[in-house]
Amino acid sequence: MAKYLLLKHYRGAPAAVNDVPMSEWTPEEVTAHITYMNDFAARLEESGEFVDAQALAFDGMWVRFDGEGRPPVTDGPFAETKDVIAGWMVIDVDSEERAVELAGELSAAPGADGRPIHEWLELRPFLTEPPTVGE
């Protein structure tokens, strides 16, 4: 089994087919989308392929070490994460082909007017061994 990270994007990926921002969806459309995601996760839980999933809030901050007791905090810029990543799901599957199949299915979650979004999902395998440096 290999673990893969599925990243859902607010924006930054190629445009989805049904490219209506979630902020413009009706409450019923949002509920249908979340229900689809939960049902998808439940099915993967039954098959043993689900590891975890989380949605991310819009809030966030950058933090770094800057000497003892002085971690500076800033509200941006966030082009790489805060403004882009909506949430993630971790799956544990037998092959890359299965990971691609599941990502494609998740991409069909409903959006505006109940039509599938056909959104692009970023699919990244977990690193299983530390990288080695060649001579």
Rounded to an integer, the average pLDDT of 58-77 is 65
- The answer to whether 9 and 122 are in contact (CB under 8 A) is yes
* Number of helices (H), then strands (E), in the chain: 2, 6
Domain 2-10+40-125 has CATH 3.30.70.1140: no
* Confidence at residue 67, expressed as pLDDT on a 0 to 100 scale: 67
How many beta carbons lie within 10 A of that of residue 38, not counting itself?
11
pLDDT classification of 62: cutoffs 50, 70, 90: low
* Backbone phi, psi, residue 113, to 5°: 60, 15
- The answer to whether 92 and 1 are in contact (CB under 8 A) is yes
Between the two ends of the chain, the Cα-to-Cα distance in Å is 31
Give the global pTM. 0.76
- For residue 22, is it left (φ>0), alpha (ψ between -120 and 50) or beta? alpha
Contacts of 81 (CB under 8 A, 6+ apart): 60
- The answer to whether 110 and 29 are in contact (CB under 8 A) is yes
Between CA 30 and CA 112 the distance in angstroms is: 8
Q: Between the CA of residue 31 and those of 27, 52, 81, 102, 128, what are the distances in Å? A: 6, 20, 24, 21, 36
Query: pLDDT above 70 covers what percent of the chain?
Result: 77
Question: What's the pLDDT tens digit per position in 28-54?
Answer: 999 999 999 999 999 999 999 999 999
Question: What's the pLDDT tens digit per position in 79-131?
Answer: 554 446 788 899 999 999 999 999 999 999 999 999 998 888 889 999 877 76
